[in-house]
Amino acid sequence: MKKVITLLGFISIFSATYSSNNSFSVPSVERPVKATEVYIPIGNTGQLISLMELSQIKVKDLEKMTGNKMSRFDKMNFKLGQRQLRSNINEDGSFSKERVEKYFTKAAVNGEPAVAGVGGINWGGLALGLFLSLIGVLIAYLISGGDKSSRTKWAWIGAIISLIIWGAVLI
């Protein structure tokens, strides 16, 4: 009986802690996402650049940042992409098209800068931590390639969940 009460206590604590709906609703004022607040990774180093900077950067500067020389065809495509990006950004830095703003509004949470293409659950890291616990976290650190920081974060989360489940079973 003590195990059942403890397990129900753990379940109620975690369901209350991680629930997505709060009982208190705070009205939020949505402000438009600015192009200076949205970052994308450039090159192999993962250096971040805002969309506003990307729309104004010169080809030579981009080549220096990425460390790769661009062909004529790549330069032409980059310039066309820049022109299209500039046409989607208003004078005040907000996005002119609703679908572009909607995409980046989902990425920007609590007024923090959004990083395009970053975020979400890393299922591989979660599985490593969940099924292999601390050994899975070690494996996540040893694997190179991909998004290592996300993988290790989710491996730690999986390991914590695994330890909680084992603790509830053994009590």
User: Could you report the per-residue pLDDT of 8-60, keeping only the tens digit for each?
Assistant: 666 666 555 554 444 444 455 566 778 888 888 887 777 888 888 988 999 99
Domain range annotation of the chain: 35-115, 120-171
Query: Cα–chain-centroid distance for residue 53?
Result: 20
What percentage of the chain's residues is helix, strand, coil (to nearest 5)? 60, 10, 30
The verdict on pTM exceeding 0.75 is no
Q: Which residues contact 155 (CB under 8 A, 6 or more apart)?
A: 125, 126, 128, 129, 136, 137, 139, 140
pLDDT higher than threshold 90 for residue 161? yes
- Does the pLDDT of residue 4 top 90, yes or no? no
